Chain A
Amino acid sequence: MEIFSDLFFGLSVATSSPMLLATLLGVLLGLAIGVLPAMGPPAALAILLPIVVSFEPTVAVAGLAGVYYGAMYGGAVTSILLGIPGESAAMMTTLDGYPMAKNGEAGRALGIATFASFVGGFISILLFTAIAAPFAEFALRFGPIEMTALMVMTLIFSTSLGGEDRAKGFAALGLGLWLGTVGLDIVSGSPRFNFGTFELLEGIEFTVIAIGMYGVGEILASVNETAPKVARARYTLRALLPRISDMYKTWKDLIVGSVIGFVVGVLPGAGATAATIFSYSFSKKISRHPENFGKGAPEGIASPESANNSASYAAMIPLFTLGIPGSGTTAIMLGGLLMLGLQPGPLLFEQNPDFIWPVIGTFYTGNLMLVVLTILLTPILASLVFIPAAYLFPIVLGIVVYGVFSVNYSFFDLGMAMGFGLLGYLFRKFSYPSVPVLLGLVLGPILEQNVRRSLIMSNGDIGIFASSTISVVFLLLSASLLLLPMFKWAKARLKKAGV
């Protein structure tokens, strides 16, 4: 049981005072960055990097990792209270978190998010401790072919989120898929839909679209609800407090989210946001009351929040076990490790156990700190919903301005965010759903790139998708997902005809 002695050693170092301090600073900064709209973990890490390079490596990495998973907790806050995703992986949390807060249950929503984050994180850390290395090897089997099949399945799963008007849902999905193609095409190297600007060459930042369509769009759509002295929710103590009963009511979704988050999070180029989409759609599929999703269902918060926290730890697995960054955020962490003079590679666990185990130890302490911090902050944060819109909206617009500008230091992005705000407003007025736009935007590029990679590898032979067991399983599942409703419908028709 070497793993227990390693872990014990890691925990004992992680609870020493400099490590605790570094973890605390990291998670606090992560929480704060997660709360600020637009600024996600990459931006936070980028700011922190030049500062921490002078620290001891273990302390520095404890802080950097703390920022990453701390942001996953913080991201839920603005999603729930303002309907603005604090960072991209918190996008799905707005779907049920914001309606619940508007119903006067902000504390309850924050409570579910915190608990889900804790459970998702904890399950993921346990799995990380136990099976990181073999799991990283398993993830290597996911190449372009397998990713294509996985994305097809996720996309089919998520069409259930299109809203009531199917046609409008698919139109919105098409828009999202198109938005994902803007910028340099990585296969041909030629620009697409950049309209002659070089700002669009690297595509449109996800947060710019998400903040525009959700945050700004929501504000613009409720400009008439700004009579002074009218609070957005009635004053009740109940609105501020989490509910214990929600914790066990959502146990199924917590497990779904944690597992999906862990599996998808470890895959190269997939990311936490894709994991939350998959997890949310899955929870909706297995729910007995799918009609409540999007209207403030506790499961709709628990599922994506446990997924994004779980994914944030899983995303660090390829970095620590193979020395390969699997996402933008972990790429910056790798840059940090290099600056610190550490070269993570397949031998990191063997050669630097006195680095890796204390860092894993801080995952445990950091997760505990976060759950305590967020629970203490919940009543204070939740009281935000008592502020009348007339005072809150100007401040939120100000935060949007600063947050969006700070992503790329660009006024162009800010203009785009306002443009998407206007589009989000029109979508709300004409009852087009905004969710499919973001689904298309997240899943589209992953799907497109992997389809084209696969076809380059096979020189255009579509048969390549049948050459991998994993891919065949996913594709069969996708087909059954498509055919099952048709089958049910046909059966119902036959029954009707028979009677």
Chain B
Amino acid sequence: MTKKVLLIEDEPSIIQAISFILSRDGWTVDSHADGATAIEAVARKRPDVVVLDLMLPNRSGLDILTDLRANAETEALPVLMLTARGQKRDREMAERLGATLFMTKPFSNAEVLASVNALAGAA
């Protein structure tokens, strides 16, 4: 059975690129672009790994992460945070709120693939 990743990201080109890379590596990839309904998407898709952008329309990735960690069903769900803001305080905030990994844009495909696989192995 293939593992599932949910990509919560609002940039269509990034969604397509990451979906392509992970799909070719055997992942089942779903994507969701709206921050406001991201929690429902996680509950519905039940992914093995979440790739979560920090700046999303309608709701910040940090708020979504907080909700995920407050829910018993998702508190241990591996989350790779993506952000264009590589500032130290963003990273610290994401780690404090429970991000499993943190990656800044622009990233390489190999980094994303290696990180998602690492998170799946650790899960």
A in complex with B: no
